[in-house]
Amino acid sequence: MKLRIILIVLAVSALILSIGTEIRMVMLKKQFQSDINRLSGTINTRVTNIENNMEKVDTYFKPNGMVEKYIVANSFLKKQMDDLEYIITSMQKSDKSGYMQIYITGSKDVWCYFKNSAGNYVFQSNLQPGLNVYKFFFFKQAEIQTKYTIDVPYDASFNAGDPTKVFFLINEPGQTRLKAYPQTGIANLYKDLNLYIPTVTGK
């Protein structure tokens, strides 16, 4: 009789434990499902926000969008500044300074460069045919400095890819003259171009 009672008690306890376990499993399942739903909602919200932001970015990059307008405006302003510097360089008078401009004959660009006495480049560029806007000052400086006004030492050297195409329009205090590239080359601007520099000649 006692054994039967013990067995019944054990069976009931096992049943209660089983039911309790089942209830806990159901609760855990609901909790997991709730967490998954919440996480899924968060992810969906973030994906929606990203998609909305991407749409906004697309509107920036579409034709006539903000980015294109910025690029056009920036290019316009840069061109205007370049034109302004060009005009300032061309119009300013430098009667008390000494400078030269380079004239390229023919129809092709010519590689030209100046080097100081230490052998370092002061200027190097492909110059287009015609009178170039760059002004190379060998005596004093330009009254208004622009990207087209270049200071070169009076004892600098000069060379070009095709020297036969190069002429110098030299503006010295009180005179202007045109000089072809010397056949002997230019190792020293002052000597080889016979520059008039009052602080050097003393006159």
Beta-carbon neighbour count of residue 154 at 10 Å?
A: 17
**Which of 177, 183, 180, 158 has its CA nearest to residue 167?**
180
- Domain spans, the chain: 49-91, 95-201
Q: Which residues of the chain have pLDDT under 70?
A: 1-18, 20, 53-82, 94, 200-203
User: What pLDDT shows up at residue 202?
Assistant: 47
User: What pLDDT shows up at residue 161?
Assistant: 93
User: What pLDDT shows up at residue 152?
Assistant: 96
- Regarding pTM above 0.75, the answer is no
